[in-house]
Amino acid sequence: MSQTTEYYYRSPTERKYKYKDHRDISPDMVDYLLSVADVSNIYSLDIGEINDYLNHLEQYQDEQYVQYQQSNRSM
């Protein structure tokens, strides 16, 4: 039996993370990014790459949620 999986994709205007400057990033988020990137200075990370990483992570979590909801419906 084939199961269709639907995902919610955010358009660029819907993306949650749109930092313009490193100073816009909260201290908690800076700590997180430094730990996952294994760097000691947030300015060593490109702001566009930070936004892309966080938005892709958010997208992944959205997809996992949809899959979880679909699997619960089939029970």
Annotated domain spans of the chain: 22-73
Query: For 11-38, what is each residue's pLDDT tens digit?
Result: 655 778 999 999 999 999 999 999 999 9
Distance (Å, rounded) from C-alpha 45 to C-alpha 18? 15
Cβ atoms of 6 and 66 closer than 8 Å: yes
Which pLDDT does position 12 carry in this prediction? 55
Q: What is the pLDDT of residue 7?
A: 46
Mean pLDDT over 36-45 rounds to 98
Give CA–CA dist 15/17, Å, rounded. 6
Burial of 25 (0-12, 13-18, 19+ CB in 10 A): buried
Residue 54 near residue 16, CB atoms below 8 Å: yes
Cα distance between residue 40 and residue 62, in whole Å: 29
What's the predicted TM-score (pTM) here?
0.71
